Amino acid sequence: MTVFVLIAVLMAAVAMVWVLPPLLRRRGADEGVERAASNLAIYRDQLAELDADLSSGTLSAVQYEQAKLEIERRVLDEAGGEGVAGPRVSRSSRRTAAVLATVIPLAAASLYWLLGNPDALSPRQAGVAGGEHQITAQQIEAMAAKLAARLEQNPDDAKGWAMLARTYMAMQRFPEAVAAYAKATALVKDDAGLLADYADALATSTGRNLEGRPLELVMQALKLDPDQWKALALAGTAAFDRKDYRAAIVHWEKLVQQLPPDSEFGQSMKASIAEARQLGGIKPGALPGPQPATAASVRGTVSLSPALAATVKPTDTVFIFTRAAEGSRQPIAALRRQARDLPAEFTLDDSQSMSAGMKLSSFREVVVGARISKSGGATPQSGDLQGISQKVKVGATDVAVVIDSVVP
């Protein structure tokens, strides 16, 4: 097992030194690979101790990933050399680097476990003692190709497709990663982490744009696991990009609660939260959500069915509304968006009441609807597109509305 860990770490270090420098804008990457390999023996025992602590339950999964990331960061620091001056690294690059630094070790170790022969390795055979064993980028490419060939023969191997997708992400082959994630998520539909990884790959392949299908996957992941760390990070980023700073703070603060307070990732998230508060005019310590009648609100996400996307213009008006679960079809509360905003998060409460005598806080159950108006008018017309939720209790926070039908 020690030999296996060493080889997996070596593969991860080579891949990270190959992938991360462009993101962090470091110089001297080739020299960094050699130095990373020479220092692996120092960090091998620390990684083994982390594995043991995770197995024994001493560390949580989040704490384990953060500790492992810190060790890998030190390997990269050694590889990058000291005293290297360069331009400031952007926060988006740091986030991408943090995600890749988590993905690369998993992909490298998993590939070796599947395709290699751990029993045949020994310290003498592998040249571990002398630091002679090196895994090149070409070898990783060959292993990825071998795994892809095996999956063509066994296309129902969900774990194999996920492994291949993560490897492609580490190699910056983003279109291939997206295709592999699509196959994996088609086979496994209830894995929040896998959905978040798929969303990240889709966004990365389109210039880090999270709107559209990536955000749909993120919200699916959060519906399965409201605490999934990558989904929270991506949901916050999507909200920040569309200037919904309150929603960004909600997601990021929930993520920060899971992180060690002194971790680099945690500090980066806190800095992002502070920026969102400043841009949104939200005072430090203030609750990010609506203050009045918090329980008397309904929150969720509205998305558009891909089958209808071609019939919609970006400037089409979208009405999101609540109405009584039974009886009157008159809207209780409503807000307006544009089709370009979909999928969109929403919060409906008494502040959006359609009439003074009818408030959301007066109801126990409602339905939530969304309608794309071709004319821009509030009255439904033939040809408009709509979607209606099931009955939900007032106070629900995870309502999903899909616009998937045409008004007759």
Each residue's pLDDT expressed in tens, for the chain with a length of 408 residues: 444 555 555 555 555 555 555 555 444 434 444 444 444 444 555 666 666 666 666 656 666 666 666 665 555 554 444 443 444 445 555 555 555 555 555 555 555 555 554 444 444 444 443 444 456 777 778 888 888 899 989 999 988 899 888 888 888 889 999 999 999 999 998 899 999 999 999 998 888 788 878 888 888 888 888 889 899 999 889 888 888 888 888 889 888 888 876 788 888 888 899 898 888 888 776 555 444 434 578 999 999 999 998 999 988 999 999 998 887 788 888 888 888 889 888 888 887 887 766 788 888 899 999 999 988 887 888 899 999 999 999 888 889 999 999 988
- Which three-class secondary structure state does DSSP give residue 278? helix
The type of residue at 85 is: A
Separation CA 104–CA 214 (nearest Å): 21
Q: Is residue 108 part of a domain?
A: yes
Separation CA 65–CA 198 (nearest Å): 19
- Domain boundary pick from 135, 168, 201: 135
Q: Is residue 329 part of a domain?
A: yes
- Report the pLDDT value the prediction gives residue 312, as an integer from 0 to 100: 92
Q: Is residue 280 part of a domain?
A: no
Q: Is residue 244 part of a domain?
A: no
Q: Is residue 228 part of a domain?
A: no
- Report the pLDDT value the prediction gives residue 18, as an integer from 0 to 100: 55
Domain that holds residue 25: 2-135
- Report the pLDDT value the prediction gives residue 126, as an integer from 0 to 100: 42
Q: Which residues contact 167 (CB under 8 A, 6 or more apart)?
A: 107, 108, 111, 140, 143, 144, 147
- Report the pLDDT value the prediction gives residue 3, as an integer from 0 to 100: 47
- Domain boundary pick from 100, 135, 170: 135
Q: Is residue 307 part of a domain?
A: yes
Separation CA 79–CA 35 (nearest Å): 5
Residue of 279, 197, 292 lying closest to 246 (CA atoms): 279
Q: Is residue 28 part of a domain?
A: yes
Separation CA 80–CA 77 (nearest Å): 5
Separation CA 402–CA 270 (nearest Å): 33
Separation CA 64–CA 106 (nearest Å): 13
Q: Please give the tally of structural domains in the chain.
A: 2
Q: Measure Cα distances from 339 to 212, 331, 407 in Å.
A: 10, 20, 17
The type of residue at 325 is: A
- Residue 333: strand pairing partners: 322, 353
- Domain boundary pick from 81, 100, 135: 135
Both tokens of 255, joined, read: 């993520």
Q: For residue 392, count CB atoms less than 10 angstroms from its CB and return exposed for 0-12, middle for 13-18, buried for 19 or more.
A: buried
Q: Is residue 65 part of a domain?
A: yes
- Report the pLDDT value the prediction gives residue 61, as an integer from 0 to 100: 61
- Residue 163: strand pairing partners: none
202 in Cβ contact with 214 (< 8 Å): yes
